[in-house]
Amino acid sequence: MEKDISYKRIWYIAYPIILGSIAQNLINFTDTAFLGRVGEVALGAGALGGIFYLAVFMLGLGFGMGEQIIVARRYGEKKQHAIGSVVDHSFLFLMLLAVAAFLLLRFGSVEILRYGVHSRDVAAGTKQFLDYRAFGIFAAFVNVGFRSFYVGLGRTKVITYTTVVLAVVNIILDYLLIFGKFGFPEMGIAGVALASVIAEYVAALGFFLYTVVTVRFSDFSLFRFRPLRFEKMQRILKVSFPTMMQQFVSLSVWFVFFLFVEKIGKSSLAVSNIIRSIYVLLMVPIWGFATAANTLVSYLIGAGRSKEVMRLVFRIIRLCFLGVMLLVLAGVLFPRALLSVYTNDALLIRMGIPVLHVISLGAILLSVGFVLFSAVAGTGKTQVSLFIELTVLVIYLVYTYLVVECWHGTVVQAWTAEWIYGLLLSLFSFLYLKSYRWEKTKI
C-alpha cells in the first residue's frame, strides 16, 4: 500500500467490495422478489431462514475479520512471509467451524423454530429452506478465508469477480428452481436455498482458480499447511473470537427482532422481509467503506503511523455518508416504485412506505457508526468492539421488546430500533477511538 492514504486509495480498496456487495444484493433482491410472487408465507419463511443462516455464517465471517486484521498488520510490518501461516491456520479452523455450523443449521434449528415461530406454516417453510441451505456453509467459509486474505492485502478486485459469478449463477438457478422452468423441478422456497448452495461452490472454485493463476505462493509462504501450531492458532483466536461472537450475536439479535415482528402478523413479517432487502441494499457502501477502515487502520498501526488513524477514519466517513445519501434519496423520492419491484400487493406496498422512511434515517446513522465501529476492530482491540456491540444490542433488543410486547406498537415503530442502534454505535465507537487507548496494541 502506498504511504499516503488518500481518498483515492480508500476508494481503491472500497469500490470492489461495494461492487461485490451490489452483486450479492442482486441475490437477496431476486430471492425476495421471486418469493414475493410465491406467497406471503414463503416470503416470511425466506426472511427467517435467511437471517438464521446469516447468523450462523457470521461466526465464520467474524473469524475471517480477525484473519483480515492480522494479515493487514503483518503487511504493514513488512512481514509478508508470516501471512501464509495465518491464512493456513485460518482455513483449517474455518473447516472445523463449518462442520459445527452445518450440524446447527441442519438439526439444531428444529427446536429454535418450534418454540420461536408463532405460525406453523412459516416454521415449516423456514425448516425446508435451512435443510437445503446448510450444505452451502462449507463453500461459504472457504470464500471467507480467501476474502480475508485479499482484503488484508488491499487487493479487493477478486471479490467483485467472484461475487458477480455467484450472483449470475444464483439468479439463473432461482428462476429455474423456484418456478420449475425448462424441465427443472418446481421447488418453491427450497429452490431458493439450493440455488444459493450451488452458487457458493461456484464462487469458491473461482477464488481458488484466481489464486492459483495470480498469486506466487512463495511470496507469502502460502498453503504449506504445516502441522497445526497451538500458539499460532491461539494468537489468531485472540483477535478473531471477539469478532466471531460480535457478528454472530448481531445477526442473532436481528433474527430475534424478526421473531418479534412475526408476532405482529404475517403481513408485518412479509413487509419486513422486503424492507430487510432494501435495507441491505442501503448498507452496500457502508460495508465497502467499513472494510476499508478495518484494513487501513490495522495497516497504519502496523506501519507505526497511529497518529494518522483519526484523520483516515473521518475521510472514510465522508465518502461513506455521500454514498449512502445518494441511495437514500432514490428510495425516498420513489418509494412506491421501489416497493413494487418486490411485490404487487397493494397492502404490502402501503405498509412498506413509512418503514422505508424509517430505515433511510437508520442507514444514514450507520454510515457514520459502522465505519467508526470497524475502525475500533481494526486497532486490534476486538474485545472492546465486542463489548460495544453487546451493550448496544442489549439496548436495541430491550427497546424492540417494549415496542412490540408492552406497547403493542406497529411494524413501523418496531423498525425505529435501527435509529437506537446507529446512534449508540456511533457514540460509543467515537469515544473509544478518541481515547487513544488502542495506540500500542500488539497482535
Q: What is the rounded average pLDDT of the residues 69-97?
A: 91
> Under a CB-based contact definition with an 8 Å cutoff, are residues 74 and 217 in contact?
no
Q: What is the rounded average pLDDT of the residues 327-351?
A: 89
Q: What is the pLDDT of residue 192?
A: 85
Q: What is the pLDDT of residue 28?
A: 63
- Asked if residue 346 has pLDDT above 80, the reply is yes
**Alpha-carbon gap, residue 76 to 12, rounded angstroms:** 17
Q: What is the pLDDT of residue 384?
A: 94
Q: What is the pLDDT of residue 50?
A: 79
pLDDT in tens, 96-150: 999 999 999 888 877 777 766 667 777 788 888 888 889 999 999 999 999 999 9
pLDDT in tens, 172-223: 998 899 888 888 888 888 888 899 899 999 999 999 999 999 998 888 888 8
- Asked if residue 26 has pLDDT above 70, the reply is no
Exposure on the CB side of residue 421, measured as CA atoms within 13 A: 27
- Asked if residue 1 has pLDDT above 70, the reply is no
Range of weakest confidence among 22-36, 105-119, 381-395: 22-36
Q: What is the pLDDT of residue 116?
A: 65
The one-letter amino acid code at 378 reads G
Q: What is the pLDDT of residue 363?
A: 96
Residues above pLDDT 90, as percent of the chain: 39
Q: What is the pLDDT of residue 351?
A: 92
Q: What is the rounded average pLDDT of the residues 275-303?
A: 87
- Asked if residue 90 has pLDDT above 80, the reply is yes
Residues above pLDDT 70, as percent of the chain: 94
Range of weakest confidence among 28-37, 96-105, 247-256, 423-432: 28-37
Q: How confident is the model at residue 434 (pLDDT cuts 50, 70, 90)?
A: very high
> Under a CB-based contact definition with an 8 Å cutoff, are residues 393 and 381 in contact?
no
C-alpha cell, 243: 469478532
Domain assignment of residue 329, yes or no: yes
The one-letter amino acid code at 439 reads E
pLDDT in tens, 405-424: 899 899 999 999 999 999 99
> Under a CB-based contact definition with an 8 Å cutoff, are residues 2 and 12 in contact?
no
Q: What is the pLDDT of residue 24?
A: 60
Domain assignment of residue 162, yes or no: yes
Q: How many CB atoms lie within 10 A of CB 139?
A: 21
Domain assignment of residue 80, yes or no: yes
> Under a CB-based contact definition with an 8 Å cutoff, are residues 404 and 284 in contact?
no
CA dist 83 → 87, 143, 295, 426, 442 (Å):
6, 17, 14, 32, 16
- Helix, strand, or coil (residue 359): helix
Q: What is the pLDDT of residue 443?
A: 73
Q: What is the pLDDT of residue 183?
A: 84
Domain assignment of residue 1, yes or no: no
Q: How confident is the model at residue 58 (pLDDT cuts 50, 70, 90)?
A: confident
Q: What is the rounded average pLDDT of the residues 285-312?
A: 89
Q: What is the rounded average pLDDT of the residues 4-14?
A: 79
Q: How many CB atoms lie within 10 A of CB 8?
A: 9
Handedness of CA 98, 102, 103, 108 (dihedral sign): positive
Domain assignment of residue 440, yes or no: no
- What's the chain's average pLDDT? 87
C-alpha cell, 425: 454505535
Domain with 383 in it: 7-435
Domain assignment of residue 178, yes or no: yes
Handedness of CA 190, 195, 201, 204 (dihedral sign): negative
pLDDT in tens, 259-288: 888 788 878 888 887 898 889 889 888 988
Domain assignment of residue 442, yes or no: no
Q: What is the pLDDT of residue 25?
A: 63
**Number of separate domains in the chain:** 1
Q: What is the rounded average pLDDT of the residues 243-263?
A: 84
Q: What is the DSSP letter of 225?
A: -
Domain assignment of residue 2, yes or no: no
Q: What is the DSSP letter of 299?
A: H
Q: What is the rounded average pLDDT of the residues 332-342?
A: 89
